[in-house]
Chain A
Amino acid sequence: MARIVKLPVSPPKKLGPKKAKRRRKPNLEDYGQLNLFAQPPKEGKVVSMHQQESFFEQALQLDDEGKPEAEKYYLLAIENKQREVDAYCNLGIIKSQQEDLAESINYLTKALELNPRHFEAHYNLANVYSDMGNFPLAKTHYEVSISIDPDFPDSYYNLGLVLISLKQYERAIKAINTYIEHSPESDHSVASELLKTLKSFAL
Chain B
Amino acid sequence: MKDSNELLADHFERLKSLVPDLYIREHDRSPTPNTDAMYGLLKRTLGIVEAIYLKNANGFNDARMEEYAKVIQELKELGFEYSGHEELMDKAASKLLMKAKKPMKRAKGGTEFDQGKSDRKAI
Interface residues in chain A, defined as those with a beta carbon under 8 Å from any beta carbon in chain B: 56-57, 60, 63, 83-86, 89-90, 93, 96, 111, 114-115, 117-118, 120-121, 123-124, 127, 130-131, 133, 135, 152, 154, 157-158, 161-162, 164-165, 190
| Number of chain B residues whose Cβ lies closer than 8 Å to a Cβ of chain A | 20
Given A83-B115, A85-B115: A164 and B109 interface contact (C-beta under 8 Å)? no
Nearest Cβ distance between residue B113 and chain A, in whole angstroms? 10
Whether A86 lies near B98 (C-beta < 8 A) is no
Whether A154 lies near B105 (C-beta < 8 A) is yes
Q: Which residue of chain A is the closest to B98 with respect to CB atoms?
A: A130
Whether A60 lies near B94 (C-beta < 8 A) is no
Taken together as a complex, chains A and B put the C-alpha atoms of A57 and B109 apart, in Å, by 8
Of A117, A130, A133, A152, the contact of B101 (CB 8 Å cutoff): A130
Nearest Cβ distance between residue A103 and chain B, in whole angstroms? 14
Taken together as a complex, chains A and B put the C-alpha atoms of A84 and B115 apart, in Å, by 8
Whether B91 lies near A133 (C-beta < 8 A) is yes
Whether A89 lies near B107 (C-beta < 8 A) is yes
Which of B103, B105, B115 gathers the greatest number of chain A CB atoms within 10 Å? B105
Nearest Cβ distance between residue A100 and chain B, in whole angstroms? 14
Residues in B with CB closer than 8 Å to A118 are 107, 116
Whether B105 lies near A123 (C-beta < 8 A) is yes
Taken together as a complex, chains A and B put the C-alpha atoms of A161 and B102 apart, in Å, by 10
Given A90-B107, A120-B107, A133-B91: A158 and B116 interface contact (C-beta under 8 Å)? no
Whether A161 lies near B109 (C-beta < 8 A) is no
Taken together as a complex, chains A and B put the C-alpha atoms of A57 and B107 apart, in Å, by 11
Given A115-B116, A130-B101: A63 and B107 interface contact (C-beta under 8 Å)? no
